[in-house]
Structure 1
């Protein structure tokens, strides 16, 4: 009668404990709480929960209770235990429970790591999900040793713990997947916003160039035509001032256009940004485009990415508007401490007068501003007609500290 009462109390206690363990979601919380109950159910001094790694050749001691090692690196050094026949290892290698009430004389005893408390008696049971063993629970040093009832009670509880651990793992993987999807959603949202902003910048820049800048350019041409005629000196001086004002205004508009012409990705990836730019030019203007890259971009290229991208963008815009070209080639050469860029098309080229005067001219402020951007970086800028056809824009910039 007394034995039946004890058994009923144990079953009721086991049921309530199992319900509590099943309600937990965090893996470490499941392991820690389950191990506490294992020690309580069996009257053990200390114990551990070990989980097999993916290769099933090591046991990861995921939770331990009942002793505090003097060496703070003990867990780090001995957390992964190779799976092999031993007092506790047979629980994994033979997938069965094991009781040893005289560990020191046990035939499979292999010793203990330095700093580990002495193990006199031991009970190990597998953690099993279905037919698969995922690890084990080991308890030690019960006064008087372990009996079959301890093994049955702990094995029954271990089955519930194994399911709870498996559910907690699934929950963590699900949470990681959800977090990954949320991060992906945020990145997609940011990418879409960046794309919309880039498209809006391009639209504004194109409007400034096609409407305002070209209008100022036309005003400058008409003023130059008037000044070439028979004009009174006082009126000529005023017209000259107006032409200079038109030039300065055009310079300001050009600076705004360059500021708007940011790379599609503001992360220093000049090669990727130019590749996208060429694809857009091909799609928008029917040009055959190609990008040739040599060398590897160093981190220092990020300091010049904006200016180089803006200059190449303007060069491509000039090709589309004026060159009557079918093909444009952009070459990037990353050298130690230096970047060289060439933009070449197969169009009609530029008049020699333009090539000779653009540095000082207020009429050809596009080329002039491109040059100023590169020279401002301590670099070199040159534009010339190709040997057979088209226009060739060459620029080189140092990668590193700018000259003082």
Structure 2
């Protein structure tokens, strides 16, 4: 292969890591590039899960109908497992002759020459690149090229992991803030309730009518305190999509955020129109995208109003805040939240779009295919 072409393909794969592509798109670019540059018939990239299978397994060179015939994602066995345990690259003339070879399904292509390169970050193996069937076998130069691509796959996977952890911390901080705000509100109402009850006690003998009025205030304050406590419990309890359904969970989330935003914060509203029946995975993605969009709008948009709308299989979160330049944000690399929403949508064959402009507010729209 011409050196100039090789350099261009490597450059394109490296740039994919830093542009607006989602992690699955980046990994697919990497595995396609590895197959092309190493002149292999087949290539795959596997990212293991904690259950002995793979969280992601992307292939190149295998037609879609053959992939379907092969069946579900593979388990961690044979050379798939070897590459996840050993940090060294593996180059074989015929994988079937190695004692570590296990088996493959009947619809699986027959593999001979094999090159496996682990995807590592420090001492941790994050996944592996697998290439097979190069006429004449793989060379040390092929191995070096694939090592470069594996290093950039590691960057993409590490960024995704760091972002997920950062979001978890941010959500925990937001939950703690809301709980604190609600606690303060409840404490204020209980203090008012105590003072009013004391006033009623002082008035009960000399002014029974005034005492009854104070007792009515006690009843009102007690009801409001109970509502605040109920809101706190709902916010701190994980969303129960299976039991409550997406519309109800979204409605409660909006109500809680509206209550917690306080008199100086944005007003939040929720509306729904004939929501479709969605799979559990689609409902989870809808909820997570809504939470991401709401978090951004409440924390960063300086909005007066935030509207959440669910119609059919489409979700919209719109605010009238300061807005931003979407293209400039993507180019500047400050787009992890946008990538996260697009990646979640991609996982359920949906589409997430963000429309915004400086001073023009923001609309996050998620569409998923109907069941």
Q: Which has the higher contact order (CA 8 A, sep 6+)?
A: 2
TM-score (normalised: structure 2)? 0.50
Name which one, 1 or 2, has greater alpha-carbon Rg.
Answer: 1
TM-score (normalised: structure 1)? 0.46
